[in-house]
Structure 1
Amino acid sequence: MAVENHNRSEGTRPSEVAHRQSYVRRVNEGAEALPQNCDADEVSILCECGRGECTSTLQLNGEVYRSVRRQATWFIVIDGHEVPEVGRVKQRRGTWTIVESTYSPNGTEVASDLVHEGP
């Protein structure tokens, strides 16, 4: 299966992508908090790449998902959906990747020395 090129679309500002990333993360966190999902061994989430046209989902181990959520600046994207203008790859995990945002939730760029590097 070929991976589509999911680099930022022409005319899309990094602040817009960052805003969508934060929105999708909140959606995922809300779905994960539902009673039937809160202790699930596996969770299904939307890709948090921030691209307006992306509707991809992925399955993750529930504990792994919750551990990534502990880092406020980390987002989970399908491998290949990284948007370098708004974040950098922290870890590749096969079919999905953890990216660290270089933008705050309100869409303003964060100085690279202020972004938490994590363990």
Structure 2
Amino acid sequence: MKRTRERIGKTEALFRNVNEGIREASDRLESEVGDFICECGDSTCTEHIRVPLEEYERVREHPTHFVVRPGHVKGPIERVVGRGRHYSVIEKLDRVIARIAKRLNPRPETT
């Protein structure tokens, strides 16, 4: 079970890192909305999510928050803390996954 949770955490962190590059490209193009990859823990998921860049920045303020497609929430390891038109914002509740999310966070944590 722990290996599964570790795999989920690493998959989500990988998708988050890809989305950081998408955000940077969207900034350079002066776009207000980014076409991001779903950050769910399913390594085979290839679904995209349109998220306003302002909202994406709010999500990134918390290293244990991720953007996913509606329906891609995995309770009891995470909970929905926000919703947009085409996405949900989730918070990791599982300690193993949350620890991985914090450790692999590409941004410095703000307090």
Calculate the TM-score normalised by the size of structure 1.
0.69
**Identity of matched residues, %:** 26
**Aligned residue identity for 1:54:** C
User: What CA deviation, in whole Å up to 9, does each residue of 1:43-85 have, x standing for no partner?
Assistant: 0100001101100001111111112111111000000001224
Q: Which residue of 2 aligns with 1:4?
A: none
Q: 1:52 is aligned with what amino acid?
A: S
Q: What runs of 5+ residues in structure 1 fail to find an aligned partner?
A: 1-11, 108-119
Which residue pairs with 1:59 in the alignment? 50
Matched, 1:17 2:8: yes
Considering only CA atoms, is the larger Rg found in Structure 1 or Structure 2? 1
Whole-angstrom distance in 2 between the partners of 1:40 and 1:66: 14
Measured against aligned partners, the alpha-carbon deviations of 1:17-39 in whole angstroms (never above 9, x if no partner) come to 111001100110122113xx124
Q: Does 1:30 align with 2:3?
A: no
Counterpart AA for 1:72 = P
Give unpaired runs (5+ residues) of structure 2. Answer: 102-111
The RMSD of aligned alpha carbons is: 1.9
Runs of 4 or more above 6 Å deviation:
none
Q: Does 1:71 align with 2:62?
A: yes
- TM-aligned CA distance change 1:55 to 1:45, over 3 Å: same
Q: Return the letter of the residue paired with 1:95.
A: H
Q: Letter of the 1:106 partner, please give it.
A: I
Q: What residue in structure 1 maps to residue 109 of structure 2?
A: none
Contact 2:22–2:34 (Cα < 8 Å) also in 1: no
Task: Quote the offset at 1:105 in angstroms.
Answer: 5.0
Number of aligned pairs? 94
The structure with more helix, counted as a fraction of residues: 2
- What residue in structure 2 maps to residue 106 of structure 1? 100
Residue 37 of structure 2 is aligned to residue 46 of structure 1: yes
CA shift in 2, pair 1:105/1:77, >3 Å: same
